[in-house]
Amino acid sequence: MLKQFFSVVMTLICMLSIMACQPSLSASTSGQVDAEDYDAFWIWGNISSAPYLAKAKELYILQGEFRLDRRTHQPQHLYQGVSVLNIPHQKVWLVFRNHHLNWSKNEIDIISKRIRQWEKKGNYLQGIQIDFDAKTQNLHAYALFLAQLRQQLPAKYKLSITGLMDWSNMQDAKTLLLFRNNINEMIIQTYQGSTTIPNYEAYLHKISKLNLPYKIGVVQRGEWYPKLNFKEDPNFQGYVVFLLRNSPTP
């Protein structure tokens, strides 16, 4: 009887040791995204100051939107997000929402001007991010657009894009090659609005098969308790939290 007792105890100790050695499945362990546990954020509007922003390593900051005018169908740029900040101790990505692929020199000039304004303040720019919700069947056209943009963007600036979870079904080899050759990262959005999309793990477990450098975008206070260990994937580069505008100030 005593022998069986010690056997059970040793088994439990071994199990606990194994669990302790396993890497964290995500930065949050409560089942909900807590911004305090992360160090990279999307800033889409005026966000109340918080300690986690001061210690953030990377910030993705909305700067505007490219769309077609509803009446004239002519391209237009709408300034959005926050104005130029002075945050030289953090890596900055300038984010541009996009609604069409028929860009001209004007869009590139607007981006270049905005880059200069941020750098003039002493900021360290990683590059730009394009936020475009391409349907999976239209990804080849989007990949061609990104290849042209990469040629027009100075080589010292990286190119990031957001991605939909449906893109995990991308199979066309030519499209995938264009993405691999022209983007530095893809951030998969696991949320819609302020809510985590149900069944997100079913999509995310296929992302590694794309062989693209990726991060996972999560929404502040959204559900997040995945069983998948993304840190074992060499293409996984971390998490980015979309901050909600009504976030309370700590």
Inside any domain, residue 173: yes
Task: List the beta strands (DSSP E) in the chain.
Answer: 31-32, 40-43, 58-68, 75-79, 91-98, 124-131, 158-164, 185-189, 191-192, 195-196, 214-219, 223-224, 236-242
Would 140 be classed as within a structural domain?
Answer: yes
% of the chain with per-residue pLDDT over 70: 85
Supply the pLDDT for residue 227.
Answer: 75
Residues 6+ apart with CB under 8 A from 38: 27, 28, 52, 239, 240, 241
pLDDT value, residue 28: 56
Q: What is the mean pLDDT of the chain?
A: 86
Q: Is residue 168 part of a domain?
A: yes
Q: Which residues, including other chains, have CB under 8 Å from residue 133's CB and lie 6 or more apart?
A: 162, 164
Q: Burial code of 90-115, b = ≥16 C-beta within 10 A, e = fewer?
A: bbbbbbbbbeebebeeebeebbbebb
User: Is the pTM above the cut of 0.75?
Assistant: yes
Burial tier of 163 (Cβ tally within 10 Å: 0-12, 13-18, 19+): buried
> Facing residues of 230 across strands?
none
Strands (E), 80-157: 91-98, 124-131
Summarize pLDDT for 152-211 with one digit per residue, the tens: 999 999 999 999 999 999 999 999 999 999 999 999 999 999 999 998 988 998 998 899
- Position 207 in a domain: yes
Q: Note down the domain range covering 61.
A: 2-242
The total of structural domains in the chain comes to 1
Q: Is the pLDDT of residue 109 over 60?
A: yes
Residue 81 sits in a domain whose CATH number is 3.20.20
74-94 tens-digit pLDDT: 888 889 998 999 999 999 999
**Pairing state of beta strands 223-224 and 31-32?**
antiparallel
Sorted by sequence, the CB contacts under 8 Å of residue 32 that are 6+ apart come out as 221, 222, 223, 224
Domain membership of residue 247 (yes or no) is no
* 229 domain residue, yes or no: yes
Q: Which residue has the higher pLDDT, 27 or 31?
A: 31
105 half-sphere exposure, CB direction, 13 A CA radius: 0
Give domain status of residue 227, yes or no: yes
Note whether residue 8 is domain-resident.
Answer: yes
